[in-house]
Amino acid sequence: MTTDDPLIKELVGTVVAVQANFYQVQLESDGVLDPQRLLLCTRRSLLKKMGQQVMVGDRVVVEEPDWSGKRGAIARVFPRITELSRPPIANANQILLVFAIAEPELEITALSRFLVKAESTSLEVCLCLNKCDLVSTDALLFWRDRLLNCGYYPLFISVNNGLEYTVNSEHRVIQKSLFQAENTFNENTLLHQLKHKTTVISGPSGVGKSSLINQLIPSLNIRVATVSGKLGRGRHTTRHVELFQLPTGGLLADTPGFNQPELECHPEELVDYFPEAKHRFSAGKCQFSDCSHRDEPNCIVRGDWERYPIYLEFLEVAIAYQEAIKQQPDVETNTKSKTKLGGKQQLEPKLASKKYRRSSRRFQHQTLQDLCEEFKDDE
């Protein structure tokens, strides 16, 4: 399909799943994703040569559609608003971090590791605690106050019972249905947080992420598994990233669960991923601009806040990670910038490095001559 003809509109869609070298693309109708228009696409060779990766969440242009076979080819990828590498997803607006308050038991260090990883993406972070039917009201209030001090307003839910728990002004816990449509208009509900956004669900295995998606989108019926009784941890049920359309509006990305995300950040940036530490900067600043907030004098961050020991622990991990990065060689890009008419810059595929190119016949002939001369000299 050519796009030079103004009467022919581009086929634009969103990649909702990637498996091997094939991409499920949901096409748009009048700017809105249409669940009935789904094509299985490949990637153009030019995109491969340029090293253009196609990710779940990418808005793409599809050419040469085969409507009977429901096939097509991705010809272009629109610029991304956001991009995550783990999990690989583009154009997400927020991260819904799902943890269980029990079974497995909630632990502040493990939770903080996920929170720091989520904060490092620069996406909005929404914290949701599941399995609240297994704990007392006092436990809910304890975790609510504890997480508020950390800078987060948690949502308390029970997917098993279909309930959402809120705390009123009198510190009483109110239960209501989790999946009522009118909840989309209440700011302190899960459905409102998900409406009209592309949300990445993340969290450890076994906390109920797949069960939550099954409740939000009953037609999916994603496989779920129980928590391992031997290890006290969840079992992996989600194997790849996939986008699902919510009935109330928005997209939901289910991601594989993992129990300990890597802290791949610069040590000097780590403090920005602790909201309670950032709040301390409103009262002043450290004496030194490169303060690591450990033992420097007149440090505004160092002090009596609950997660400060966790910050110090993560800081050592971040320093070790950066030292390992320095030992790695630079990665060569697959594209080069070329100036076209009018001074316009355009990216083009770069030829393979010389060490990977096939030797010319002239070079091979010269090499054979050299070998023959060496052989004669040996005689």
116 is in an annotated binding site: no
Residue 161 lies in a domain: yes
41 is in an annotated binding site: no
Q: DSSP string covering 203-262, please?
A: --TTSSHHHHHHHHSTTT-----PPPTTTSSPPP---S-EEEE-TTSSEEEE----SS--
Same domain, 243 and 126: yes
207 is in an annotated binding site: yes
Average pLDDT score, the chain? 84
What pLDDT does residue 119 have?
94
Same domain, 244 and 115: yes
150 is in an annotated binding site: no
278 is in an annotated binding site: no
130 is in an annotated binding site: yes
204 is in an annotated binding site: yes
Same domain, 156 and 66: no
Q: Which of 279, 305, 324 is the last residue of a domain?
A: 324
Residue 148 lies in a domain: yes
List the domain range (segments joined by +) for residue 158: 87-221+235-252
- Cα–Cα distance list, 262 to 34, 140, 204, 235, 277 (Å): 36, 29, 13, 19, 21
pLDDT tens, position by position, 333-352: 667 777 776 666 777 777 65
48 is in an annotated binding site: no
Q: Which of 324, 339, 356 is the last residue of a domain?
A: 324
Closest CA to 43 of 77, 73, 14: 73
What percent of the chain shows pLDDT beyond 90? Answer: 49
234 is in an annotated binding site: no
Per DSSP bridges, beta strands 32-43 and 71-77 are parallel
265 is in an annotated binding site: no
Residue 275 lies in a domain: yes
293 is in an annotated binding site: yes
Listed range (63-67, 111-115, 248-252) with the worst mean pLDDT = 248-252
Same domain, 60 and 94: no
Beta carbons within 8 Å of 44's beta carbon, 6+ residues apart: 63, 73, 74, 75
pLDDT tens, position by position, 165-218: 988 878 888 998 887 766 666 667 898 899 889 999 988 888 888 889 888 888
Same domain, 245 and 101: yes
Please write down the long-range contacts of 159-162, taking CB distance under 8 Å and 24 or more positions apart: 159/130, 159/131, 159/208, 159/211, 159/212, 159/215, 160/131, 160/133, 160/208, 160/211, 161/133, 162/215
169 is in an annotated binding site: no
342 is in an annotated binding site: no
209 is in an annotated binding site: yes
299 is in an annotated binding site: yes
